[in-house]
Amino acid sequence: MAIDPPEPHPEREKLETLITHCKKRASRAAEKLEAAMRENHEASRALSDAELRLCDWIDSHPDPQPSLL
């Protein structure tokens, strides 16, 4: 004698569908966050490099007329 599976419940199916959509959304958000963090790191490094290059340039090109202060 086999036991029949319970009939699908509409509310449960809605919740399972919602969970599937939420998991996909969370996964996409995590991918975007990782890309944004990578971009932020690269931009910060580029900024730091540019600031160091400016400091080097300023050191290599002193003001021909020193400040009176």
Q: What is the pLDDT of residues 3-18, one digit of tens each?
A: 777 788 899 999 999 9
Global pTM reads 0.66
Q: What is the pLDDT of residues 37-69, one digit of tens each?
A: 999 999 999 999 999 999 999 999 988 877 666
Dihedral of CA atoms 11, 15, 20, 21 in degrees, nearest 10, equals 100
Q: Give me 8's structure tokens.
A: 């699908």
